[in-house]
Amino acid sequence: MPNCLSVQLVTSGLSQLAVRHLRTSAICQNVRTRFAPSPTGDLHLGSLRSALYNYLFARSHGGTFVLRIEDTDRSRTVPGATDRLLSTLQTMGLCPDEGPSVGGARGPYVQSERTALYQEHAEQLVASGAAYRCFCSRGRLDLLRRKAVSRAEKPRYDNRCRHLTDDKRRHLLERGVKHVVRLKLEDTAAPFPDLVYGPVAFDVAAQEGDPVLLKADGFPTYHLASVVDDRMMGVTHVLRGVEWQVSTSKHLVLYRAFGWEPPQFAHLPLITNPDGTKLSKRHSDVSVESHLARGFQPEALLNYVCLTGGGFRQLEQTALTDLTHLIEQFDLSRVHTNSCRLDPHRLHHLNQLALRRRFSSPGPRAELFETVRQLVTGRFKDSDHAVSQRVLEDQYVEKVLAWALEEGRVTTLQELVGRDLAYLWAVPGCLPVGRLPAVADPGGALRLTAAELAAWPEEDLTRERLVPLLRAVSERSQVKFGALMRLLRLALSGVEEGPGVAEMIAVLGHAETIQRITSCISQLPAEGTVQSC
Ligand code: GLU
């Protein structure tokens, strides 16, 4: 690459670690990295990691982070996916220095706008003999595939059109027979240096047929477009998932064919489900957008992927690290090579930290309040449960958040409006009389509780002080403590599970608690009757 000192690697006799150190310590100036997603759906956690590590690597070397949209596979391109990718990257704080929305000197940054460039380059390779036109019909290719399958072999193209005579080729072209351009895959046995894995070798030529570079519709395949663009966009370092390592062997054949010096490659380890299985069995589990929609904060997600695959000199395992610090600590030579499992518990913990951090700083705190209000109004919009204006006020939202975050009651704000905590916002529907505990005089016990509470000043309604009060009521009313708690929980929330009753009362406050108890008393069946609602 023009602005980059090439690192001559003599790998024999060096340990993998030494090779990694050698290469990463010789990082060139003017680093340019790229994130090159295909707009085929949501960004998933693996792609987020690629975007983040390219960003961190560029930033930690004072370099440039480029975003390129790889949309040459028209059949897989999903309308609207590019806009979603751009907006998700922005939400995550990974803003490119060059890319479709910001422009740059080496654009356009969307591959479908660069097709002429790829066609020119394919022609160049045909002219030099590094690539050739292949006229094989779909029928013939299918036949090859079926034969291989019947022999339990891996299907591969047999490279027949490499050997067409000039006359035959001319004749086919004159007849206008549709064709593709294929790369002559040769000399792939030598290892290439990987900044993460050390020297790696895939003799793809021994395993696969010649790959297509340009399709019959004039669109390039990933291999051609990616290599041409990395070159044209001055990319010095390619950081991408290890699943692309085999492709790198093909790309190096292309670099040689063009006479270009390749960028340096670093492959990032596989991310797996918690049980070690391949990621993305259920896409919503790994989609960044769905995590954001479920209430995970961008900084929690960023830390989650960083803690999953290594790559940092020092990183607190149980704390949140901000982007600036991640940039300072980033060290490619520390990226793991073994596959790494996602641990959702870690994400939950990080999200709680992120919410607490937001709650403790004024601007983000106001945003949290607003999000909670929206969640509450959205949740109860079409329900019969009445939401009073009081619960939407800052003072109440703050009290709920302080309790929920301090006690670690919730992992996301969304959980605040889940079934167990809905009582915080809406008065429970009618009393589930059939589920009341067997208590001789529930009305009496409830009246006594309300009277005791009414005599207490609001500021004394803390969990610590409420527990002895409730015990005293239990004794005086001769209702077992557990039964009294079940009765009160139903009265206050309408459900049988949830936080402790003292916690509930402390958050709901005086007036609301007494009102709910009174409403419950009025719904109790007269002795000997059973009312249903
Ligand atoms: N477009 C490829 C993808 O979707 C990019 C692979 C690469 O980074 O070269 O992941």
209 lines ligand 1 (CB under 6 A): no
Q: Got the DSSP string for 201-223?
A: ---HHHHS-PPEEE-TTSPBPHH
* 138 and 36 both lie in a single domain: yes
Range of the domain at 438: 433-523
What is the tens place of the pLDDT at every residue in 456-474?
Answer: 888 888 889 999 999 999 9
Residue 153: pLDDT over 60: yes
Atom of ligand 1 nearest to the CA of 40: 4
Residue after which a domain boundary falls, among 428, 452, 475: 428
pLDDT given at position 495? 87
Residue after which a domain boundary falls, among 256, 272, 288: 272
* 133 and 250 both lie in a single domain: yes
Whether 242 is covered by a domain: the verdict is yes
* 396 and 247 both lie in a single domain: no
The band of 5, judged by pLDDT with boundaries at 50, 70 and 90, is very low
pLDDT given at position 1? 37
* 377 and 500 both lie in a single domain: no
Whether 332 is covered by a domain: the verdict is no
255 lines ligand 1 (CB under 6 A): no
* 365 and 511 both lie in a single domain: no
pLDDT given at position 458? 80
Nearest residue to 357 (alpha-carbon basis) of 293, 292, 299, 306: 299
Query: How many domains in the chain?
Result: 3
What CATH number is attached to the domain comprising 503?
1.10.10.350
Atom of ligand 1 nearest to the CA of 241: 8
- Give the pLDDT mean for 413-428: 92
- Of all residues in the chain, what percent carry a pLDDT higher than 70? 92
Poorest-pLDDT segment among 118-127, 220-229, 443-452: 443-452
pLDDT given at position 121? 98
The band of 2, judged by pLDDT with boundaries at 50, 70 and 90, is very low
Strand, coil or helix: 272: strand
44 lines ligand 1 (CB under 6 A): no
Mutate to test the pocket of ligand 1, among 35, 38, 78, 280 (most ligand atoms within 8 A of CB): 38
* 388 and 241 both lie in a single domain: no
33 lines ligand 1 (CB under 6 A): no
Residues 188 and 204 sit within 8 Å (Cβ to Cβ) = yes
pLDDT given at position 383? 75
pLDDT given at position 436? 80
What's CA 485's distance to the chain center, in Å?
41
Whether 510 is covered by a domain: the verdict is yes
Distance of alpha carbon 57 from alpha carbon 23, whole angstroms: 14
- Please name the residue whose Cα sits nearest to atom 5 of ligand 1: 36
The band of 7, judged by pLDDT with boundaries at 50, 70 and 90, is very low
* 219 and 259 both lie in a single domain: yes
pLDDT given at position 28? 56
* 253 and 181 both lie in a single domain: yes
- Of all residues in the chain, what percent carry a pLDDT higher than 90? 77
Residues 69 and 110 sit within 8 Å (Cβ to Cβ) = yes
pLDDT given at position 432? 78
Q: What is the dihedral of CA 404, 406, 410, 411, to 10 degrees?
A: 150
Residues 277 and 240 sit within 8 Å (Cβ to Cβ) = no
Whether 162 is covered by a domain: the verdict is yes
pLDDT given at position 463? 87
DSSP state of 421: G
Write down the mean pLDDT value for the chain.
Answer: 90
- Give the pLDDT mean for 245-251: 97
* 478 and 372 both lie in a single domain: no
* 419 and 487 both lie in a single domain: no
Distance of alpha carbon 155 from alpha carbon 386, whole angstroms: 64
The band of 482, judged by pLDDT with boundaries at 50, 70 and 90, is very high
Whether 324 is covered by a domain: the verdict is no
What number of CA atoms fall less than 13 Å from residue 334's CA on the CB side? 14
What is the tens place of the pLDDT at every residue in 346-356?
Answer: 999 999 999 99
Residue 21: pLDDT over 60: no
Residue 139: pLDDT over 80: yes
Residue 212: pLDDT over 50: yes
Distance of alpha carbon 68 from alpha carbon 109, whole angstroms: 5
Residues 22 and 14 sit within 8 Å (Cβ to Cβ) = yes
Residue 487: pLDDT over 80: yes
Residue after which a domain boundary falls, among 384, 403, 428: 428
Residue 118: pLDDT over 70: yes
Show the tokens assigned to 33.
Answer: 């990295």
Residue 26: pLDDT over 60: no
Is residue 281 among the annotated active site residues? yes
36 lines ligand 1 (CB under 6 A): yes
The band of 17, judged by pLDDT with boundaries at 50, 70 and 90, is very low
pLDDT given at position 271? 93
Whether 303 is covered by a domain: the verdict is no
The band of 27, judged by pLDDT with boundaries at 50, 70 and 90, is low
Residue 4: pLDDT over 60: no
Distance of alpha carbon 487 from alpha carbon 524, whole angstroms: 11
Distance of alpha carbon 526 from alpha carbon 92, whole angstroms: 58
What's CA 423's distance to the chain center, in Å?
32
Residue 37 Cα to ligand 1 midpoint, Å, equals 5
Whether 384 is covered by a domain: the verdict is yes
Q: Which of 147, 178, 281, 480 is catalytic?
A: 281
Residue 279: pLDDT over 90: no
Atom of ligand 1 nearest to the CA of 230: 9
The band of 504, judged by pLDDT with boundaries at 50, 70 and 90, is very high
pLDDT given at position 18? 43
Q: β-pairing, 212-214 with 180-183? A: antiparallel
Whether 281 is covered by a domain: the verdict is no
* 422 and 474 both lie in a single domain: no
What is the tens place of the pLDDT at every residue in 291-332?
Answer: 999 999 999 999 999 999 899 999 998 899 999 999 999 999
38 lines ligand 1 (CB under 6 A): yes
24 lines ligand 1 (CB under 6 A): no
Residue 206: pLDDT over 90: yes
- Please name the residue whose Cα sits nearest to atom 2 of ligand 1: 37
Poorest-pLDDT segment among 171-185, 200-214, 275-289: 275-289
Per-residue CA distances from 18 to 379, 420, 517 (Å) = 57, 55, 72
* 439 and 416 both lie in a single domain: no
Residue 372: pLDDT over 50: yes
pLDDT given at position 10? 32
